[in-house]
A and B are shown apart, each in its own frame.
Chain A
Amino acid sequence: MSEEVKSKAPSEPLFSKKNRALVTDPLTDNNPVTVQVLGICSALAITVQVEQGIVMGLAVLFVLVLGNLIISLMRNLIPSRIRIIVQLVVVAALVIIVNEVLKAFLPDVSEKLSVFVGLIITNCIIMGRFEAFAMANKPWPSIMDGIGNGLGYAGLLVLVAVFRELFGSGTLLGFQIFGNSLPGEETGLYAMGYMNNNMMILPPMALIIVGIIIWVQRSRNKELIETH
């Protein structure tokens, strides 16, 4: 069997249509968050600011791509009885690496993310992709799958964060978009009576925004509509 794989492997180009689909599908029609309903847990609480959303997205992307690769390389070695524990150990080890590196090089960001870095371990996307894809596929497609799902996840985080930061604080990545909102020295839109929507900053708005994104997505793609 292994010979057959070897002889077949080179015939498929690295960026074949199938491999490209692995990356592009999760960005839209098979988005891990809005369609597969995975990994909502640890993410939404940190979408108040775009910067945190980007860092969190990158951390998940890193863990997912590397984890997928490692699991895929080991897929023929892992004893089936301790499969889940092995996957957990791999994720936990990668997350510890991310956490230690963040603490050493980006201490301010690490402080803001606090426990949510650790919660990447139980992010269902990661275990879900390990179990559903990496355990049954070769390393290269697994990497592509990791990139696709990681980007799909990061993209959604950033999208939600953009809405929340823009309308909640009037900034994007810390830059003032609508002018200065300080009481007494308003400029731009604020001088005309515009006010930040404090509601956007509160945790429940993240859920409502995701709900609306799902609504828009499913109106455009009728196949995704649930019967009930």
Chain B
Amino acid sequence: MESTFDIFIKAIFSENMIFAYFLGMCSYLAVSKTVKTAVGLGAAVIFVLVVTVPVNYLLENYMLKEGALEWLDPSLAEIDLSFLSFIMFIAVVASIVQLVEMLVEKFAPALYGALGIFLPLIAVNCSILGGALFMQDRQYSTILDATAFSLGSGIGWFIAIVAIAAIREKIRYSHVPAPLRGLGITFIITGLMGIAFMSFMGIKYGSEKPADEAPKSTSIEAPINNGMAQTTNTNTYKSL
């Protein structure tokens, strides 16, 4: 029902990997001390997500899902290999990361210099496996949707890590209470950024309008819904 573009925008903002699902927090906390390294890691995550999610999508739909083997032979339609999906996904992620590392080193040494040290870190970055698992969980119906989702998630993660790195660079000059320095304040700032990102949840996506209703009634209903969503939100925050 959702359009591909909706999926893309949603993945960047309202369903941001870091702020809504906390995926990839380990490397997010460890590699966000300077903006330069954060940009490197962020770019690597976008790259690996965009490569692995479509591959895992094909794997899921043509091998693992119940009835997915039907294209080989109708008699295989009964086979359900979905219990193997975790192990297949992580294997795909680990081997693609390895492969990408070798290819980049061989053909683009400059890029390898920039991304190289981050690539091995990424195999165990939750956001990559998380991308594959969300893709499976949400059952995207075309590979285009899955790719849009992976690109959006990657960009969302990139924005998050670059933003926190910029803040951490500046916060060094502030008087943070000693026990809160480093990790503690990073957690709290991430939380505050997450609250800011929550305001993106109010975005009205095309898919939320009744899809199969006559266009006339849609145009009448939509503004009412919009106004209501906003007013109720303000009410909630006032009551806090």
Residues of A at the B interface (CB closer than 8 Å) are: 34, 37-45, 84-85, 88-89, 92-93, 95-96, 99-100, 114-115, 118-119, 121-124, 127, 195, 197-199, 202-208, 210-212, 214-219, 222, 224-228
Pair A215/B180 contact, Cβ less than 8 Å = yes
Select the residue from B24, B30, B86, B125 with max chain A CB neighbours within 10 A.
B86
Pair B124/A127 contact, Cβ less than 8 Å = yes
Whether, in the assembled complex, B61 has its beta carbon less than 8 Å from a beta carbon of chain A, the answer is no
Contacts of B86 in A (CB 8 A): 92, 95-96, 99, 118, 121
Q: Say how far A220's CB is from chain B's closest CB, in angstroms.
A: 8
Pair B133/A198 contact, Cβ less than 8 Å = no
Question: CA of A14 to CA of B205 in the docked complex: distance in angstroms?
Answer: 60
Pair A195/B137 contact, Cβ less than 8 Å = no
Contacts of A93 in B (CB 8 A): 87
Question: CA of A67 to CA of B177 in the docked complex: distance in angstroms?
Answer: 39
Pair B22/A45 contact, Cβ less than 8 Å = yes
Select the residue from A43, A96, A218, A227 with max chain B CB neighbours within 10 A.
A218
Residues of B at the A interface (CB closer than 8 Å) are: 19-26, 29-30, 83-84, 86-87, 89-91, 94, 123-130, 133-134, 136-137, 172, 177-188, 190-195, 198, 236, 239-240
Q: CB within 8 A of B184: which of A85, A124, A214, A227?
A: A214
Q: Say how far B66's CB is from chain A's closest CB, in angstroms.
A: 14
Closest residue of chain A to B22 (Cβ to Cβ) is A44
Dominant secondary structure of chain A at its interface with chain B: helix
Contacts of A115 in B (CB 8 A): 130, 133-134, 136-137
Contacts of A210 in B (CB 8 A): 187
Pair B87/A215 contact, Cβ less than 8 Å = no
Contacts of B136 in A (CB 8 A): 115
Contacts of A41 in B (CB 8 A): 22-26, 126-127, 130
Question: CA of A195 to CA of B238 in the docked complex: distance in angstroms?
Answer: 12
Pair A214/B183 contact, Cβ less than 8 Å = yes
Pair A203/B187 contact, Cβ less than 8 Å = no
Pair A45/B133 contact, Cβ less than 8 Å = no
Question: CA of A75 to CA of B172 in the docked complex: distance in angstroms?
Answer: 42
Q: CB within 8 A of B179: which of A121, A124, A206, A218?
A: A218
- A and B contact pairs by CB, cutoff 8 A, 18 listed: A37-B29, A45-B21, A45-B22, A89-B87, A92-B90, A92-B91, A118-B86, A119-B129, A119-B133, A121-B86, A122-B126, A198-B239, A199-B240, A203-B194, A211-B186, A211-B191, A215-B179, A222-B179
Pair B94/A211 contact, Cβ less than 8 Å = no
Contacts of B172 in A (CB 8 A): 228
Q: Say how far A225's CB is from chain B's closest CB, in angstroms.
A: 5
Pair A37/B192 contact, Cβ less than 8 Å = no
Question: CA of A122 to CA of B129 in the docked complex: distance in angstroms?
Answer: 7
Pair A85/B94 contact, Cβ less than 8 Å = yes
Pairs of residues from A and B, 4 with the lowest C-beta to C-beta distance, nearest first: A204-B194, A226-B182, A211-B187, A218-B179
Closest residue of chain A to B26 (Cβ to Cβ) is A124
Select the residue from A34, A202, A207, A225 with max chain B CB neighbours within 10 A.
A207
Contacts of A45 in B (CB 8 A): 20-22
Pair B130/A100 contact, Cβ less than 8 Å = no
Pair B180/A218 contact, Cβ less than 8 Å = yes
Select the residue from B94, B178, B185, B236 with max chain A CB neighbours within 10 A.
B178
Q: Say how far A68's CB is from chain B's closest CB, in angstroms.
A: 17
Q: Say how far A64's CB is from chain B's closest CB, in angstroms.
A: 15
Q: Say how far A89's CB is from chain B's closest CB, in angstroms.
A: 7
